[in-house]
Amino acid sequence: MSYVDEVIELVVKQNPSEPEFHQAVKEVLESLRPVVDANEEKFRREALLERIVNPERQLKFRIPWVDDKGQVQVNTGYRVQFNSSIGPYKGGLRLHPSVNLGIIKFLGFEQVFKNSLTGLPIGGGKGGSDFDPKGKSDREVMAFCQSYMTELCKYIGADTDVPAGDIGTGAREIGYLFGQYKRIKGVYEGVLTGKGLSYGGSLARKEATGYGLLYFTKEMLIANGMDIAGKIVAVSGAGNVAIYAAEKATEMGAKVVTLSDSTGWIYDAEGIDLDAVKEIKEVKRARLSEYKNYRPNAEYHEGKGVWTVKCDIALPCATQNELLIDDAKALVANGCKVVAEGANMPTTIEATEYLQSNGVIFAPGKAANAGGVATSALEMSQNSERLSWTFEEVDAKLQRIMVDIFHNLDAAAKKYGFEGNYVVGANIAGFEKVVDAMLAQGVC
C-alpha cells in the first residue's frame, strides 16, 4: 500500500467519529501524492506524514458560566495546537453548537497549510466551544468568554499561540476574551487578533478575509483570461466573510445577488443592499428574513437553495460542507464558471471533483480565504512594534499577499503537471514549506 493510503487509513482508524477531520486529511494527502511518491523512503523514515496528521497538543476542558436566570451552564472548550514548525500556533476560535473535537481538528489541520501559504511566520491551530452565542445577552456572552479564557490563558501567549475570530466569534467576543487574559496574566500583549481598534486591533482586519477572497479571485480570473467586472456572483453566508466578500465584489463591478444564513437565503436581482445587511447582521444580530423590509422586491426563501440561482461566480462563505454534489450540478447547469471558497471546506470532495471535471475554475479555501489570517499576522507585527499602520498600508500588503499566494500555487500545480488544479497547487505549496521546517528542526 502506498504511504499516503496507509496514513489515510491510520487517521480513520485512530480518530473514529471525526468525519470532517478524515475529509480534510484525505483532500490534502491525495493532492500530495506526487511529492510523497518522489520522497517516499525519506518521508517514511522520518514518519513525516504521521507527524503532520497528529496535532502537537489538543486541549479539551470544562467551561462553567452562570446564565441570566442564575442557572449554571457547562460548555466544552477546545484548543488544538496543530503545528508550530513555522511560527506560533495561529487560528480562530469557533463558537457554534456543532463544535466538537473532529471539527476543530479539521480546521486546525487546514490552518497549518493556509498559514504556510501566506508566507508569514505563523503555525497552525484552532479552538472553540459548543457554546451558542445566538439569543444570549451581552452579559451571558461575557460570562462565557471570561470562563473560557480563565482556562485557555494557561496555554496561549503572544509568542506561543494567538487565537482570533471564526464563526460566532466577532469583535464583542474578542474584547471580552482579551480583557480576561489581561486581567489574569497582568500582561498587555497581542495574544489575540481581530481586536478593537482602540486596544491594538489592525485596520482592515474586519474586512480582510472577504476582501482577500476577491483579490485572490480577481488574480485567478486574470490568469484565466477573464474579468470580474460585470459578473453575477452568488454568495452564501451573511457573516464577517460573506459581507466583506460581497462588498469587494460589488466594488470591483460585479453584481452580488444572494446571501444566506442558517435559516434561509435572499435573492436580490438588483444587487444586494449591503447597508441593509450590515444593519440586520452587525447591529441588530437578526435574521436575513428581515431583508424584505428594506428591499420589498427581493426574495426570501426558507432553508437551503442559494446555489440554484444563475451566476457566473459562486463564493461559499458560510460553513463546511454547504456545497454538495447536487449544488455543484445545479451551478454547472446554470453556467457558473468559477467557485472560490471563502469558508473552510465548504465544498465536499465529490462536489469539488464534479466542478473541476466540468471546467469550473475552483479555488480552495486554504488559499482563497487566507487573507484573514494573513492580516492577523500583520496585526501581530503592528503589536510587536507598538505601531499602527493605515488602512491603505494594510490593504496594500493584503493585496500583495493574495496575489503572491495565487502565483505560488499556480506554479506548484504546473511544476507537478497539474496545471489549473489549484487544490493540488495549494496543498503542495503549503506542505513544502512546513516539511522543510520540520525536517530542519529534527525529530520533534
Q: Which residues bind ligand 2IT (CB under 6 A)?
A: 90-92, 111, 114, 164, 166, 193, 344, 372-373, 376
CA 284/CA 184 separation, integer angstroms: 32
- C-beta of 112: minimal distance to ligand 2IT in Å? 11
Among 347, 369, 382, 408, binds ligand NDP (CB under 6 A): 369
Stretch that binds ligand NDP, among 225-233, 292-300, 336-344, 432-440 (CB under 6 A): 336-344
Cα Rg of the chain, angstroms: 21
Bridge partners of 157, per DSSP, are 161
Bridge partners of 255, per DSSP, are 232
* Closest C-alpha among 245, 244, 370, 265 to residue 308: 265
Residues 93-112 that bind ligand NDP (CB under 6 A): 98
Stretch that binds ligand NDP, among 78-86, 144-152, 153-161, 238-246 (CB under 6 A): 238-246
Q: Smaller CB distance to ligand NDP: residue 87 or 168? A: 168
- C-beta of 339: minimal distance to ligand 2IT in Å? 18
Quick one: which H or E segment has residue 256?
Answer: strand 255-260
Please pick, among 105, 114, 126, 281, the residue that the annotation labels catalytic: 126
Quick one: which H or E segment has residue 220?
Answer: helix 205-223
User: Which residues contact residue 256 at a Cβ distance below 8 angstroms, ignoring those fewer than 6 apart?
Assistant: 233, 234, 235, 246, 249, 250, 271, 272
Q: Smaller CB distance to ligand 2IT: residue 43 or 106? A: 106
* Maximum separation of any 2 CA atoms in the chain, in Å: 64
Q: Smaller CB distance to ligand NDP: residue 170 or 425? A: 170
Q: Smaller CB distance to ligand 2IT: residue 166 or 261? A: 166
134 annotated active-site: no
* Burial profile 116-138: b = 16 or more Cβ within 10 angstroms, e = fewer: bbbbbebbbbbbbbbbebeebee
- C-beta of 227: minimal distance to ligand NDP in Å? 25
Residue pair 122/434 in contact (Cβ under 8 Å)? The answer is no
Under rule CB under 6 A, residue 165 binds ligand NDP = yes
Among 123, 372, 425, 430, binds ligand NDP (CB under 6 A): 372
Number of residues that bind ligand NDP (CB under 6 A): 23
Distances, alpha carbon 103 to alpha carbons 18, 49, 319, 384, in Å: 7, 20, 11, 31
To 5 degrees, how large is the angle CA 90–CA 261–CA 365?
35
- C-beta of 139: minimal distance to ligand 2IT in Å? 26
SS3 441: coil
Grid cell of 406 as nine digits: 495565487
Stretch that binds ligand NDP, among 77-85, 164-172, 347-355, 394-402 (CB under 6 A): 164-172
- C-beta of 126: minimal distance to ligand NDP in Å? 9
In angstroms, the first-to-last Cα distance of the chain is 26
CA 218/CA 255 separation, integer angstroms: 14
Q: Which of ligand 2IT, ligand NDP, none sits in contact with 91, Cβ below 5 to 8 A by type? A: ligand 2IT
Stretch that binds ligand NDP, among 25-33, 162-170, 177-185, 404-412 (CB under 6 A): 162-170
Amino acid of residue 1: M
**One character per residue 265-304, x = contact with ligand NDP (rule: CB under 6 A):** ----------------------------------------
- Which residue of this chain has its Cβ atom nearest to ligand 2IT in the complex? 92
Grid cell of 21 as nine digits: 477531520
Q: Smaller CB distance to ligand 2IT: residue 360 or 378? A: 378
Under rule CB under 6 A, residue 24 binds ligand NDP = no
Q: Which of ligand 2IT, ligand NDP, none sits in contact with 319, Cβ below 5 to 8 A by type? A: ligand NDP
Which letter does DSSP use for residue 282 in this model? I
Q: Smaller CB distance to ligand NDP: residue 3 or 216? A: 216
Residue pair 80/38 in contact (Cβ under 8 Å)? The answer is no
Residue pair 363/216 in contact (Cβ under 8 Å)? The answer is yes
Grid cell of 285 as nine digits: 444580530
Residues 384-403 that bind ligand NDP (CB under 6 A): none
The residues annotated as belonging to the active site are: 126
What does the binding site for ligand NDP look like in residue numbers (CB under 6 A)? 98, 165-168, 209, 237-242, 261-263, 317-319, 342-344, 369, 372
